[in-house]
Structure 1
């Protein structure tokens, strides 16, 4: 037994010393990879963004890395990202099929599905159905404002003290998307929604961990009971929960009279029951989870990041409050249309999105054919990583502190504002997120002042890296505006 272990290690050492990984012809430059591991040892597993910035400075805005034995091209800066994802959109619209997250979702739904007829059918269905059920309309505003009232109730109970806002914003964002998907709202202490959110958070954080990388670069490890198996277990639990919701929904459903997106999907299955359709129950579960994920994590993490910056910049918060008060005057609620009269609030919200940098590396793409990017050749199937963080912080694109206001105080949105990515694979939840962020923050800033809590530690603006990046936990000091003097 000992002799076999020694021979195995000798074999691995021989691989490292004698096997050289060769880049394809005219491929973007990058650091020399090791056999088996590629360039993983040159990236910080906790947060690789600084290492990517270092490599960008050395090799330029287009460089390559090896993730195991597979080459990947990293795109940096606005010009490069738009050239690939917008100008040559169809050539870069694929998704990797070998990643752990691809295997977890089985390539179904929308987010991780490869470019093709099923993806097109489901994206078109989701966008059309969400619009039909109020996305971008006054009816959707009502759903959001109803949920904001519950947020306010929770905050009022902490007025004069402090609270942890992490789960509050996740719960609120989850309920808003649930109202669209299956017309259901959960109380904030409901164990079902709390468990669902916790597992989704864990999934997004574990998608880019070292264990996920080992799953991808050493396939022989996949059957072993290693930590990455937990990801599959958690995802299966999520699917089982969604299946229970579907079963419950079917019991009160009337075919042809849809109440929500789930009913619409079931109607679509009935219409195409004769075969040849991409719509089926397995795809439906993946789509529902996609929508839940797209409508929850990014919005809630942006709200938490916004609160951190507002607590530590009281002058920004006060100016927002004055603008909100001037525009709304005696009205009970804000409307999404009010954003046109609130340039400073709009600028503050967009700056919070830029700084929160929730999806720094987007969702990885692949090339759908042999293609060219500037002078480089990218073979069909090359993995492409759009470094959105490099765009949101690109020197020359931003004029801090007024990144979203022009010289006369009007709101402007620079081209480099790409928190939702760009091209045909732009985030499905963008429209909902924009409406939520505005209505939530306007309502909260109108009623409350947020302060750094007396029991709070020194502000920490660093992030917890993952598939969806999040601000480190911090407490939120809450004060009622009506209780302030003057």
Structure 2
């Protein structure tokens, strides 16, 4: 009996040791690892950013974690980030899985096609989405504001409003069409995007990614697959309509793009990626912008003074006007810094055995960019922990962009949507501020600036009042 217990104990110890992940030789340091779970228990899955910061203080700017059995290296700070993201060091690799079927996201397609395919060429030609196209969507937004509040001083919540305008702009890129906001197509797209990002922003995402064996279980994350299915059905419907009128060699939008190596499934799922990513990031940045502007009326007023001066006599703003608006430019960039919309960027992986900060990192290691540490790094910013446009202005009041400004990541794999996002934010914010004054309701109490953590950071719902300036 005693011998049996000893053997059982030895077997259990052997299994535990076998299931406990081990750090490779000269691998970045990190907290102790548990069998199977890795370092999951070291993180608050609802918002791990504070835990990441504690680990940074303990183990340095480059440290390792095991999310389940798989090793990850977390990169913090401007210096380590620039070294890691330089050409040839790492590449994006971010795959999703739905119903057991793996599909590539836009980042994978960029890697496969080296930015040469007709599909990517179509999407990367941002200038095809002209200032007037964006402004048309903005005009729809104004109509929504008018119909909702009738300029009577009523309080409104802007969440759906900003989701709608950002989604409509992406519809122009992907489908070549803008929709009325009561149209079933766009309402389904917006609602599905909200459901998908809500699921993706929850703790189940980390568990789902870390433990592949739970993916077929009936867990809360699976609800997002129904939303993906609704989106894919709509995209397929639009794609079939495009096929009837498509002219070879004359693409009108993303769905018209042709490439013999680009399957229909990839086209559909990439279109969904673009719609969700382009809608969620832009709308959340706009929500952050107006949350701060209505609670910093002196900053809002100074923006409006500069806008009035530069646009005097003009019917509408154009993107080139940004060069004459240094303060507005500073405010928009400060909003992006403080919003920290994608705090952990898109996960990358090493393409070969490499070295970083003196550590050895094997091929295939997941790389997590903690952009929060860059956008708020002391020594890189004049006011790292407060909302202040002075972070982007020199002593002469000219707009400057510090090296630590990396809301779109860094290196050759920087976010493909940066150009479009910059244009959207400038044109939408300037047009809105030119026409309206935004006010924090007096009976609302103090604003809560704490965002809801997720793949994208989302401001908590808040109310605002709108007054016509003209």
The one of 410, 420, 424 aligned to 2:408: 420
> How far is the alpha carbon of 1:120 from its aligned partner?
4.2
Query: Is structure 2 residue 330 aligned with structure 1 residue 340?
Result: no
> How far is the alpha carbon of 1:180 from its aligned partner?
2.0
In structure 2, the residue matched to 1:188 is 181
Runs of 5+ unmatched residues, structure 2: 1-10
Query: How many residues matched?
Result: 453
> How far is the alpha carbon of 1:422 from its aligned partner?
1.2
The one of 284, 297, 301 aligned to 2:284: 301
Secondary structure (helix, strand or coil) at the match of 2:379 reads coil
Of the structure 1 ranges 147-156 and 213-222, higher mean CA displacement relative to structure 2 is found in: 213-222
**What TM-score results when the alignment is normalised by the length of structure 1?**
0.87
Deviations 1:200-246 (A, max 9, x none): 23323333533233333433333222223223332222212110111
Query: Is structure 2 residue 364 aligned with structure 1 residue 384?
Result: no
Secondary structure (helix, strand or coil) at the match of 2:456 reads coil
Is contact 2:103–2:266 with CA below 8 Å preserved after alignment? Answer: no
Secondary structure (helix, strand or coil) at the match of 2:130 reads helix
Query: Is structure 2 residue 456 aligned with structure 1 residue 463?
Result: no
In structure 1, the residue matched to 2:160 is 167
Counterpart mapping for 1:255-334 below 5 A: 255-263=248-256, 265=257, 268-269=258-259, 272=260, 278-334=261-317
Distance in 1 between residues matched to 2:44 and 2:396, nearest whole Å:
43
Q: 1:308 to 1:14 in 2, by over 3 A?
A: farther
Distance in 2 between residues matched to 1:105 and 1:430, nearest whole Å:
29
The one of 126, 131, 134 aligned to 1:144: 134
Runs of 5+ unmatched residues, structure 1: 1-10, 273-277
Query: Is structure 2 residue 209 aligned with structure 1 residue 216?
Result: yes
Counterpart mapping for 1:198-237 below 5 A: 198-207=191-200, 209-237=202-230
Query: Is structure 2 residue 434 aligned with structure 1 residue 439?
Result: no
> How far is the alpha carbon of 1:390 from its aligned partner?
1.0
The one of 371, 375, 379 aligned to 1:396: 379
Distance in 1 between residues matched to 2:201 and 2:353, nearest whole Å:
27
Deviations 1:299-331 (A, max 9, x none): 111000000000000000000000000111121
Secondary structure (helix, strand or coil) at the match of 1:386 reads strand
> How far is the alpha carbon of 1:292 from its aligned partner?
1.6
Is contact 2:94–2:346 with CA below 8 Å preserved after alignment? Answer: no
Secondary structure (helix, strand or coil) at the match of 1:470 reads coil
> How far is the alpha carbon of 1:472 from its aligned partner?
0.7
Distance in 1 between residues matched to 2:328 and 2:134, nearest whole Å:
18
Q: 1:259 to 1:21 in 2, by over 3 A?
A: closer
Is contact 1:39–1:67 with CA below 8 Å preserved after alignment? Answer: yes
Counterpart mapping for 1:237-256 below 5 A: 237-256=230-249
Secondary structure (helix, strand or coil) at the match of 1:65 reads strand
In structure 2, the residue matched to 1:5 is none
In structure 2, the residue matched to 1:34 is 34
Secondary structure (helix, strand or coil) at the match of 2:404 reads coil
Is contact 2:232–2:268 with CA below 8 Å preserved after alignment? Answer: yes
> How far is the alpha carbon of 1:150 from its aligned partner?
1.2
Query: Is structure 2 residue 23 aligned with structure 1 residue 23?
Result: yes
**What TM-score results when the alignment is normalised by the length of structure 2?**
0.90
Query: Is structure 2 residue 106 aligned with structure 1 residue 110?
Result: yes
Is contact 2:294–2:438 with CA below 8 Å preserved after alignment? Answer: yes
Secondary structure (helix, strand or coil) at the match of 1:423 reads coil
Secondary structure (helix, strand or coil) at the match of 2:74 reads strand
Is contact 1:96–1:383 with CA below 8 Å preserved after alignment? Answer: no
Query: Is structure 2 residue 465 aligned with structure 1 residue 477?
Result: yes
> How far is the alpha carbon of 1:131 from its aligned partner?
5.4
> How far is the alpha carbon of 1:296 from its aligned partner?
1.3
Is contact 2:122–2:251 with CA below 8 Å preserved after alignment? Answer: no
The one of 133, 144, 148 aligned to 1:154: 144
Distance in 1 between residues matched to 2:100 and 2:448, nearest whole Å:
33
Is contact 2:340–2:457 with CA below 8 Å preserved after alignment? Answer: yes
> How far is the alpha carbon of 1:115 from its aligned partner?
7.1
Distance in 1 between residues matched to 2:13 and 2:110, nearest whole Å:
39
The one of 85, 90, 93 aligned to 1:92: 90
In structure 2, the residue matched to 1:355 is 338
